């Protein structure tokens, strides 16, 4: 914890830390600090400091002595618990960068301004309190031991004037508050100290008159007039003359003043003269001014204006590295006078999950470990959203008091967990008074979660995407002049613009080169040479510290950096201060961070691989084993980078510990990352430690983690690579285990998900399958995976025959795990096929009765498939039970993909019963969860909406959203639904006719086939396309008595309802009545409220049609 430090100049110079006065050293050293304090927050040039200490006659050693004083002061003022010093190097000198509340001078000014504002508003008690606070900060003359110095006298004159004004405001406030005696005493003292001051005289007279001392009041005025006349030869002003007349006639307004500040006095002279405030300092702005950026700053100002009005907004600042994204965001922070919470995302593999969110929580005063702790005994979705809700509650509470600005830097490097929360935050309307400023690098190699965040933020009302352009030659010249303090010729500015591409960071680095190097007129051949020359100008000991700091990572951990550098705290801090003077590092969160990632990269580039590994090894040794997540992750990252300077076994164990810790916290992306790192370390283990079983366990753990994170395509790529290695090395058992794992990666859906490219892996499996004749167990597992991967083959006989072969071969092996894989594969192939419902139940019952290794996971998948079967059959009680048990199992085993599928199913059951409000809410929740995975099928949300609109009889409104239409190329099966619905809604009968014919001509059987045919049947009747009736009846009649569910994501009513309408169109009234009766019985039995309403509407339509045709069917 940083101890409070107070700086005092209103009296003798003092610095107090936690109640103890600091020894500030010799008089000259104290003089340096005094000058910095008087201009706190502003750069004080080295020349001014030299003049203040030595006058006009500088000794030869003056510069070196000044640097020594600065170094000594930094040590004195540096908090023992922080690495940074408040004295910062800025061209052409130094500035004292402390919070205004730490300096008595700024506190005095703030209180005095507040008192004056309260006086003008007539808030007398508040004005008196503020003025008393302000005056109470004075302990004597300004910088008493230096009061004879010219620069101190100049500052003291202005401050004494402000002090007098504040005393006058206090007299006024005391009178207004009815404290006449106190006002009289203070006014007398003021007038005695300032006998020629007109306002002091005015107040001295009024307070006496208010105290009933009229003659004394008149004496004060007469004496003042006499002194002006005899000593100065001046006449009194009209204000005092008017006051004298008012006293003589006992004007009643004198007794009311100043209690009614908004009422104009009837008598002239009752408003005392007000001193000018033109000498007051402007707001202090630290750091270098921003150059150019007029358009961008107008966008920033618009954001802040909206925020002040209570409207939350998102601002996405984009551009290449060094273009000034962070500087522009910092300017937004500087222009915002309200609460700010901020975070940065370092480019560091060792950063733990939730890192930027942890920073935001700390700045809000919350404990990240408490807020981010997963609640016990809840499902995975509820756990995640409970954490989201905690964070949002903190934000709502923070914004209730005042609007808040949140700044997140370099979001392209944020971890997946944080990106998912930020996407959720961007997708929700609350909190209303939160503005989020995000910087993101162009062409950043981020994961799939980054585009989702950017898209979600861009969709918000009032969101702004702000690309930052390069600087022009004039702006480059201004920036160089600002940084170096020297004018740049136009030609040089144009050449520099061409060389640097107008990149402000590169321009600034050039400007910071030593003067003599810039004077040659030679521009660096490359930006990297500029950075290298900057570093070359530092003391080698400072560069060594910077290299260790680059390894430790931002922001710097002082304790860890001390262990790596093996320096004591003061020596380390001195070297960091020198680096900060050259703007290589900058203050950050009570420590330091590199001014730019490119600087950190350049520092690391100067290290040989061996030295880099040695530094990582020291960092890992200092961190030690065990500890919280952050320590585990950082130690693992350092050990991985330190190989071979450390025992590779230690790196392997650390990676595995980090992976297991991530799994415990449901952070599957992080777990997958560390299982991958463990695999890399495994390759370096001694031969006797590299067992085939351990390698398989690691690969399977990684695949499982990727699957739980919903990384569908990544799973396929990893399994493909591992299969290739296994085949090359003749490890058939490993190939079988991998194939068996693949079966369980996508819940109750086939692993060949839409949006992925299963082709290469299917080819690999087909090639492997032909080489496994001598290993029947592995052969079964590969056949099973191949069958499920072929689920979307246009010819359904392909997966059907493959899964049959796998089951027959498994039964001959006598291996229970192989048989379980084959049964699971068979269930995945047929459970969503309407005509195979009964067979599915038999297969899945066999799986339930079979003891095997993967039984717990398979039981969850089995309940997911049985939900599909029982809902299809109209057994909703059984479906609900499968949903309940399967959901619990997915939570217990932490299977988020299965949990998403059960969430969709929950929405479909609510919609079937007619509770559309609940259904939409659940569907939206499922959609948000599903989109966070690589398994999201473009259009799944559309299908759920289509099913709801169909149940309401509003199918014409089912137009696909833009989000889905962008994914149409990857979703041909789902595309059939929307094309048909849109064609029907727009009356394009010919197009609909072709679509129906195309669908009927295919032999594909997937989870959408029976619902798609049902929809096409209804649309064919609506359009009067009688030519398709025979084929549709032929395909749908075997499915009579079933529900037309679209997998778990929706339902299109009883299939019998479509059959009834088709029979009516064909003129078969008897068959139509039977089908309608069956549909109605199904709706009544299952509580299908909307389906029952559809049946009633059809009955009414049929009766009306029959009556109008005299009993004949039209």
The tens digit of pLDDT for each residue in 723-753 reads 888 888 888 999 999 998 889 988 888 887 6
User: What pTM does this model have?
Assistant: 0.69
In terms of pLDDT, which residue wins out, 794 or 561? 561
Tokens representing 66?
């000044």
Q: Is residue 680 part of a domain?
A: no
∠327-329-331 over CA atoms, to 5°?
70
Q: How many CB atoms are located within 10 Å of the residue 231 CB?
A: 9
| Number of neighbours of residue 864 by Cβ within 10 angstroms | 28
* Residue ending a domain, choose from 102, 127, 161: 102
At 547, the pLDDT band (50, 70, 90 cuts) reads very high
Residue 360 lies in a domain: yes
What is the per-residue pLDDT for 843?
Answer: 95
What backbone torsions phi and psi does residue 592 show, to the nearest 5 degrees? -125, 155
| 745 inside domain | yes
Is there a single domain that holds both residue 302 and residue 422? yes
Task: For residue 589, give the CATH number of its domain.
Answer: 1.10.10.10
Q: Which residue has the tokens 């006992």?
A: 250
State how beta strands 434-441 and 404-409 pair: parallel
Give the position of tokens 């008393």.
132
Q: Are 871 and 904 in contact (CB under 8 A)?
A: no
Tally of structural domains, the chain: 7
Find out whether the peptide bond into 1033 is cis, omega within 30 degrees of 0. Answer: no
Residue 322, token pair as written in the block: 């060094």
Q: At what angle do helices 238-248 and 198-210 cross, to 10 degrees?
A: 10
Domain of residue 745, CATH code: 1.25.40.10
pLDDT at 490: 82
Are 461 and 477 found together in one domain?
Answer: no
Q: Is 460 part of any domain?
A: yes
At residue 948, φ and ψ (nearest 5 deg) are -65, -45
Give the DSSP H or E segment for 439: strand 434-441
Pair of tokens at residue 737: 């285990």
pLDDT at 334: 87
Strand bridging mode 434-441 / 314-319? parallel
**Which residue segment(s) compose the domain that 510 sits in?**
473-526
Residue 851 and residue 721 in one domain = yes
- Predicted confidence band of residue 1105 (pLDDT cuts 50, 70, 90): low
> Where does a domain end: 277, 312, 338?
277
Q: What is the pLDDT of residues 522-540, one digit of tens each?
A: 544 445 566 777 787 788 9
Query: In which band, very low, low, confident or very high, does the pLDDT at 481 lie, cut at 50, 70 and 90?
Result: confident
Last residue of a domain, one of 558, 590, 605: 605
* Shared-domain flag, residues 463 and 486: no
In this structure, are strands 591-594 and 1043-1045 parallel, antiparallel, or unpaired?
A: unpaired
Out of 177-181, 347-351, 590-594, 994-998, least confident range: 347-351
Same domain, 547 and 582: yes
The pLDDT score that the predictor gives to residue 357 is 93
Statement to judge: residues 440 and 488 lie in one domain: no
- Do 404 and 433 lie in a common domain? yes
773 domain-assigned: yes
Cα–Cα distance for residue pair 275/282, rounded to 1 Å: 17
Q: Give the chain's mean pLDDT.
A: 85
List pLDDT tens digits, range 596-629: 777 788 888 888 999 999 999 999 999 988 888 8
Question: pLDDT, tens digit, for every residue of 854-874?
Answer: 999 999 999 999 999 999 999
pLDDT-derived band at 1027 (thresholds 50, 70, 90) equals very high
Question: In terms of domains, do 846 and 940 share one?
Answer: no
Q: Are residues 743 and 794 in the same domain?
A: yes
Residue 820 counted as domain residue: yes
Q: Is 983 helix (H, G, I), strand (E, B) or coil?
A: helix
Does residue 624 form part of some domain?
no
| Whether residue 521 is found in the same domain as residue 559 | no
Assess whether the previous peptide bond of 555 is cis (omega < 30° from 0): yes
The rounded distance, in Å, linking the Cα atoms of 1061 and 1042 is 16
- Measured CA to CA, the distance from residue 470 to residue 451 in angstroms comes to 24
**Assigned domain for 634 exists:** no
**Quick one: 850 and 937 in the same domain?**
no
* 1083, 970: one domain: yes
Tokens 């203050």, located at residue: 587
């Amino acid at each position: 914890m940083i101890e409070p430090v107070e700086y005092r100049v209103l009296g003798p110079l003092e610095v107090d830390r936690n109640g103890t006065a600091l020894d500030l050293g010799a008089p000259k050293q104290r003089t340096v600090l005094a000058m910095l304090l008087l201009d706190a927050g502003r750069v004080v040039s080295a020349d001014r400091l030299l003049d203040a200490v030595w006058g006009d006659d500088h000794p030869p050693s003056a510069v070196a002595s000044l640097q020594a004083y600065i170094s000594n002061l930094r040590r004195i003022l540096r908090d023992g618990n922080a690495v940074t010093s408040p004295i910062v190097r800025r061209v052409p000198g130094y500035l004292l960068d402390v919070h205004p509340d730490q300096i008595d001078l700024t506190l005095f000014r703030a209180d005095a301004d507040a008192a004056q504002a309260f006086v003008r508003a007539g808030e007398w008690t508040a004005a008196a309190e503020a003025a008393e606070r302000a005056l109470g900060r004075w302990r004597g003359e300004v910088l008493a031991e230096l009061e004879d110095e010219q620069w101190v006298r100049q500052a003291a004159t202005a401050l004494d004037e402000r002090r007098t004004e504040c005393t006058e405001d206090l007299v006024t406030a005391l009178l207004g508050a009815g404290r006449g005696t106190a006002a009289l005493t203070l006014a007398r003292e003021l007038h005695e100290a300032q006998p020629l001051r007109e306002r002091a005289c005015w107040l001295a007279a009024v307070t006496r008159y208010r105290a009933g001392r009229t003659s004394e009041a008149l004496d004060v005025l007469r004496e003042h007039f006499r002194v002006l006349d005899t000593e100065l030869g001046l006449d009194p002003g009209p204000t005092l003359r008017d006051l004298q007349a008012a006293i003589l006639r006992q004007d009643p307004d004198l007794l009311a003043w100043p209690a009614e500040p908004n009422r104009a006095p009837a008598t002239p002279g009752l408003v005392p003269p007000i001193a000018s405030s033109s000498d007051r300092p402007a707001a202090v702005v630290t750091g270098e001014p921003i150059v150019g950026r007029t358009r961008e700053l107008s966008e920033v100002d618009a954001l802040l204006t909206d925020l002040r009005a209570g409207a939350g907004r998102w601002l996405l600042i984009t551009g290449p590295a060094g273009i000034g994204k962070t500087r522009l965001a910092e300017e937004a922070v500087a222009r915002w006078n309200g609460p700010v919470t901020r975070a940065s995302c370092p480019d560091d593999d060792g950063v733990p999950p939730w890192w930027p969110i942890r920073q935001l929580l700390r700045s809000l005063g919350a404990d990240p470990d408490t807020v981010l702790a997963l609640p016990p005994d809840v499902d995975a979705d509820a756990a995640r959203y409970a954490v989201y809700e905690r964070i949002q509650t903190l934000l709502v509470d923070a914004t209730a008091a005042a609007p808040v600005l949140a700044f997140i830097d370099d979001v392209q490097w944020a971890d997946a967990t944080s990106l998912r929360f930020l996407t959720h935050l961007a997708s929700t309307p609350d909190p209303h008074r939160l503005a989020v400023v995000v910087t993101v690098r162009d062409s950043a190699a981020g994961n799939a979660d980054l585009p989702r965040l950017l898209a979600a933020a861009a969709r918000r009302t009032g969101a702004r995407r702000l690309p930052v352009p390069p600087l022009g030659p004039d702006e480059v010249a201004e920036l160089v002049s600002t940084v170096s303090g020297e004018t740049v010729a136009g030609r040089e500015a144009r050449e520099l613009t061409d060389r640097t591409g107008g990149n402000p960071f590169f321009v600034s680095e050039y400007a910071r080169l030593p003067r003599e190097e810039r004077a040659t007129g030679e521009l660096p051949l490359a930006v990297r040479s500029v950075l290298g020359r900057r570093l070359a100008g530092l003391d080698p000991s400072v560069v060594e510290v910077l290299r260790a700091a680059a390894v430790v990572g931002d922001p710097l951990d002082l304790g860890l950096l001390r262990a790596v550098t093996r320096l004591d705290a003061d020596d380390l801090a001195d070297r960091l201060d020198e680096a900060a003077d050259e703007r290589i590092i900058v203050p950050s969160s009570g420590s330091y961070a590199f001014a730019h990632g490119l600087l950190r990269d350049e520092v690391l580039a100067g290290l040989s691989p061996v030295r880099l590994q040695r530094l990582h090894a020291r960092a890992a040794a200092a961190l030690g084993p065990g500890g919280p997540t952050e320590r585990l992750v950082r130690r693992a990252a350092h050990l991985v980078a330190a190989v071979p300077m450390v025992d590779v076994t230690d790196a392997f164990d650390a990676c595995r510990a980090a992976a297991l810790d991530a799994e415990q916290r449901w952070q599957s992306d992080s777990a997958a990352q560390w299982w991958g790192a463990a695999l890399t370390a495994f390759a370096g283990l001694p031969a006797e430690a590299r067992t085939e079983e351990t390698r398989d366990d690691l690969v399977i753990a990684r695949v499982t983690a990727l699957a739980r994170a919903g990384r569908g395509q990544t799973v396929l790529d990893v399994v493909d690579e591992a299969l290739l290695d296994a085949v090359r090395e003749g490890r058939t058992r490993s190939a079988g285990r991998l194939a068996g794992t693949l079966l369980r990666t996508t819940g109750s859906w086939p692993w060949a998900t839409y949006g992925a490219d299963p082709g290469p892996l299917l080819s690999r499996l087909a090639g492997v399958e032909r080489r496994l004749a001598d290993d029947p167990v592995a052969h079964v597992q590969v056949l099973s995976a191949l069958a499920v991967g072929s689920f979307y083959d246009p010819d359904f006989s392909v997966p059907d025959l493959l899964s049959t072969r796998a089951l027959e071969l498994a039964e001959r092996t006598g291996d229970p795990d192989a048989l379980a894989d084959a049964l699971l594969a068979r269930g995945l192939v047929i459970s969503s096929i309407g005509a195979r419902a009964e067979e599915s139940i038999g297969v899945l019952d066999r799986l339930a009765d079979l003891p095997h290794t993967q039984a717990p996971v398979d039981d969850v998948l089995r309940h997911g498939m049985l939900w599909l079967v029982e809902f299809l059959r109209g057994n909703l009680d059984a479906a609900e039970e499968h949903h309940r048990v399967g959901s619990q199992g997915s939570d217990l085993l932490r299977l988020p993909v299965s949990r998403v599928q059960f969430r969709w199913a929950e929405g479909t059951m609510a919609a079937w019963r007619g509770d559309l409000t609940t259904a939409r809410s659940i569907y939206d929740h499922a959609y948000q969860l599903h989109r966070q995975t690589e398994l999201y099928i473009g259009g799944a949300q559309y299908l759920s909406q289509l099913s709801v609109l169909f149940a309401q009889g509003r199918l014409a409104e089912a137009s696909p959203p833009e989000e889905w239409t962008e994914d149409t190329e990857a979703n041909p099966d789902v595309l059939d639904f929307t094309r048909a619905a849109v064609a029907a809604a727009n009356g394009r009968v010919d197009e609909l006719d072709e679509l129906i014919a195309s669908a009927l001509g295919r032999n594909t059987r997937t989870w959408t086939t029976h619902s798609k045919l049902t929809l096409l049947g209804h649309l064919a009747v609506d359009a009067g396309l009688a030519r398709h009736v025979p084929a549709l009846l032929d395909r749908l009649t075997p499915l009579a008595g079933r529900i037309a569910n679209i997998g778990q994501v929706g339902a299109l009513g009883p299939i019998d309802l479509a059959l009834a309408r088709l029979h009516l169109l064909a003129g078969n009234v008897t068959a139509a009545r039977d089908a309608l009766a069956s549909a109605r019985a199904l709706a009544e039995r299952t509580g299908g409220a909307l389906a029952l309403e559809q049946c009633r509407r059809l009955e009414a339509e049929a009766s009306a049609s029959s009556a109008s045709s005299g009993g004949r069917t039209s």
